Chain A
Amino acid sequence: GAGVSQSPRYKVAKRGQDVALRCDPISGHVSLFWYQQALGQGPEFLTYFQNEAQLDKSGLPSDRFFAERPEGSVSTLKIQRTQQEDSAVYLCASSPQVGSPLHFGNGTRLTVT
């Protein structure tokens, strides 16, 4: 596609539910990033993939968060047993290589009630 695509755009979950957020990066982009953006804040790094390898997951806030990119293209961010503090916009970004400008998707707005 022309850009990074994320789905769903909006997700409302009851506390304790599991959610899965999808990212389709730009075709051929090697690097893929997940960021979390709370209201009124800048994005914060969650995790990084180079192709299918998850090279950095130091930003994942707890073991309830899990990300995968099994075939080096589409990525899924999974949050288990959602909590209210997980409410945020989850942004996916891709780039052709490390150090190149990032291309962001429009994000998934997660609201945990």
Chain B
Amino acid sequence: KQEVTQIPAALSVPEGENLVLNCSFTDSAIYNLQWFRQDPGKGLTSLLLIQSSQREQTSGRLNASLDKSSGRSTLYIAASQPGDSATYLCAVNTGSYQLTFGKGTKLSVIP
């Protein structure tokens, strides 16, 4: 059974810092991996989707990498802003219709 772990569970950084969020998964036979952002009381917003054949994806200040063989992905956020404060969730798709999510990393960016 696929298990997804996100470390750390919470992170607090001063504005302007670069930061890395980590995601690991137990079954490397994945179809794709997706990073989401969730604001309090809201649904999930898709940030980046990496197909299994890709190594990384970039969108603005966000860069996500995927190392399938080691079962790891990272989300890099450059020049963090208070508006980046949210919970970030990693989810893997093993080719079925189901996404398996981690518990998320709660990020606080302090002005």
Contact = CB atoms under 8 A, between A and B. Distances in A.
Chains A and B are bound partners: yes
Given A56-B97, A99-B93, A40 B44 contact: no
Given A44-B101, A45-B99, A99 B46 contact: no
Interface of A: 4, 6, 31, 33, 35, 40-45, 48, 55-56, 58-59, 91, 93, 98-99, 101-107, 109
A107 B41 CA distance: 8
B103 interface: yes
Interface in B26-49: 31-32, 34, 36, 41-46, 49
Contacts of A41: 103
Nearest to A43: B101
Interface of B: 4, 31-32, 34, 36, 41-46, 49, 89, 91, 93, 96-104
Contact of A101 (B34, B96, B102): B34
Secondary structure of the B side of the interface?
A: strand
Nearest to A3: B43
27 contacts: A31-B97, A33-B99, A35-B99, A42-B89, A42-B101, A42-B104, A43-B44, A43-B99, A43-B101, A45-B97, A48-B97, A48-B98, A55-B97, A56-B96, A58-B98, A93-B43, A98-B97, A99-B31, A101-B34, A102-B34, A102-B44, A102-B46, A104-B43, A104-B45, A104-B46, A106-B41, A106-B43
A42 B91 contact: yes
A102 B32 contact: no
A45 B43 contact: no
A42 B98 CA distance: 13
Contacts of A93: 43-44
